[in-house]
Structure 1
Amino acid sequence: MYCGTHDMVYCLMCIATEHRSCGDVTSLTDAAGSSLQQKEADRLQEEYESIKEVLTVSKRKKKENLVSLEENRNTIEKRLQEIEEALVEHIKKLSQQDKMSLNETYCKVKDELESDIKMLDCRISEMERVRGKFQSTTEVNQEKRFIQFKLCQQIMKDAKILHAQFESGGKVLIDFAENTSVTGQLVEVKSLGKINEARINEKKEIKGQKEIKGQKEINVRMQNDKKTCRINDICQLDCGACILADWRNKNVKLIDTNRNVKSHFDLGFLPNGICKTGHNEIAVKLCNNKIDMLSLSTGIAKVRSISVKGGGGYWGIAYTGGKFWASAETAVDVYDTNGTFEKSIAVARAGTRQMTVYQNSVYLADRSDGIVKLMSDGTKQTKFQDSKLKCTVGVCISNDGTVYALDKPSNTIVMFSQDGKCLGQLVPEIPSREDPESLCYDNKNECILIGYNSSDTVTALHLHD
Structure 2
Amino acid sequence: MFVSKPDDIKVEEWSTKLPTNHIVVSLIDMNETKSGRKLCTACERENETESACSWCVNCGEALCKSCDRYHRRNKASSNHKLIEIGADVPNDIPLQHADVFCKEHPEKKVKAYCNDHSVICCMTCVMLKHRKCDNVGSIEDAAEEMKQSDEVKEFEDKLKGFKTSLETFVQNRVDNLQNLDGNIKRIKLEVDTLFKELSKHLEELKTNVMLEIAKIEKEVKPEIEDERDEMKSEIAAVDNSVALFQTNMKHAPPAQFIQAMEKLAEQKTFLENYLKDQSTKIKDIEVTFKTNEKVLEIKSIIQEFGKLDIKRSEAAVTIEPTVNNVCMRSLNPILSSEISTGLDVEGIAVLDCGQILLSMKAKNTIQLRDHNCSDLLSKLSVPGSPRGVKMTGDSEGAVAVRGHGLILFKVKNNQIRKVSEIQADVNYDFVYHKDRYYIGCGNKICIYNRNNGNYSMISDISVNNEVGYMALCDESSLCYTDYGGNTVYCVRMDGTPVFTYSSQDLRFTIGVTVLLYTLK
TM-score tier, shorter chain, comes to 0.3 to 0.5
Considering fraction of residues, name the structure with more strand: 1
**TM-score, reference length from structure 1:** 0.37
Structure label with greater radius of gyration: 2
Larger helix proportion of the pair: 2
Structure showing greater relative contact order (alpha-carbon pairs closer than 8 Å, 6 or more residues apart): 1
- What TM-score results when the alignment is normalised by the length of structure 2? 0.34
